[in-house]
């Protein structure tokens, strides 16, 4: 399962990077890549150490105990997998909303938003503290659902792929984008979320399914401001790896 997830992640990363190279929506800014890639390496190492409390481990634990909604409903595959994907995507949407609304959590999450450009590496630029919180949030959701390890792997794979896709420095044809974003989050839709205008930033929280933003009225079709990033932390020194790790405490 680990090899499958890693292979899928690398494959989608390469495909999105090639898409950006062939048809960039905005001027590429690849000097940031070593820092953003450095963050994902640190995050991966930390999550590897915390493997016993990962979402997959939580699924195995819930299965042994017979806990959760799915066992109570008697749902097996593939219906159970579909329910887990939808329910966990809603859970991640809610987590994202909370990261914006709670000041202490926003300080962690803003590391993602202080990226001065928007491309595939923005989709992996997260503070290790946020990654730990996200892992615990997902583990709790998995136990409540009684999700199987297979269902969790399917969701985690889709979530990683969606994060890379929606942060692409590329655009779909306007008609296709308008049609697709009725169901899925597209790069142009999510780019609004990375606007420096707070009203834009506090919208379009979805990662995989676009339905939650429409349902809870956080959807925004167009940005009211220009540019990417926040008003603070725009100096070159603020974009270094150690500065990003210490940014929540400033």
Within a domain: 44:
no
Q: Cα(101)–Cα(97) distance, rounded to whole angstroms? A: 6
Give the pLDDT confidence score for residue 77 in this predicted structure. 86
Q: Which residues, listed in sequence order, are joined to residue 209 by a DSSP beta bridge?
A: 184
Within a domain: 26:
no
> How large a percentage of the chain has pLDDT more than 90?
93
Within a domain: 239:
yes
- The tally of domains found in the chain comes to 1
Give the pLDDT confidence score for residue 2 in this predicted structure. 75
Within a domain: 45:
no
Q: Tell me the residue range of the domain where 200 lies.
A: 2-19+52-249
Question: For the whole prediction, is pTM greater than 0.75?
Answer: yes
Within a domain: 14:
yes
CB 156 within 8 A of CB 57: no
Query: Each residue of 12-61: pLDDT tens digit?
Result: 999 999 999 999 999 999 999 999 999 999 999 999 999 888 999 999 99
Within a domain: 170:
yes
Within a domain: 217:
yes
Within a domain: 132:
yes
Sign of CA dihedral 17, 18, 21, 27: negative
Can you read off the two tokens belonging to residue 51?
A: 């493997």
């Amino acid at each position: 399962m680990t090899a499958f997830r890693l292979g899928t992640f690398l494959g989608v990363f390469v495909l999105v990077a090639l898409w950006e190279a062939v048809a960039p929506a905005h001027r590429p800014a690849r000097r940031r890549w070593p820092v953003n890639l450095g963050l994902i390496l640190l995050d991966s190492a930390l999550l590897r150490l915390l493997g016993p409390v990962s979402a997959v481990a939580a699924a195995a634990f819930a299965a042994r105990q017979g806990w959760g909604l799915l066992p109570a409903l008697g749902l097996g595959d593939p219906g159970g997998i579909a329910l887990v994907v939808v329910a966990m995507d809603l859970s991640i949407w809610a987590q994202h909303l909370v990261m914006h609304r709670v000041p202490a959590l926003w300080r962690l999450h803003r590391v993602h938003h202080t990226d001065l450009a928007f491309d595939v590496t923005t989709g992996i630029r997260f503070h290790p503290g946020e990654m730990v919180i996200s892992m615990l949030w997902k583990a709790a959701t998995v136990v409540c659902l009684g999700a199987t390890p297979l269902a969790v792997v399917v969701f985690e794979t889709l979530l990683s792929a969606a994060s890379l896709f929606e942060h692409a420095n590329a655009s779909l044809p306007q008609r296709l984008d308008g049609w697709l974003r009725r169901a899925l989050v597209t790069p142009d839709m999510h780019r609004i979320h990375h606007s420096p205008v707070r009203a834009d930033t506090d919208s379009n929280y979805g990662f995989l399914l676009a339905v939650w933003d429409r349902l809870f009225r956080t959807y925004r079709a167009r940005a009211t401001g220009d540019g990417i990033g926040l008003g603070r932390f725009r100096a070159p020194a603020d974009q270094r790896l150690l500065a990003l790790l210490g940014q929540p405490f400033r």
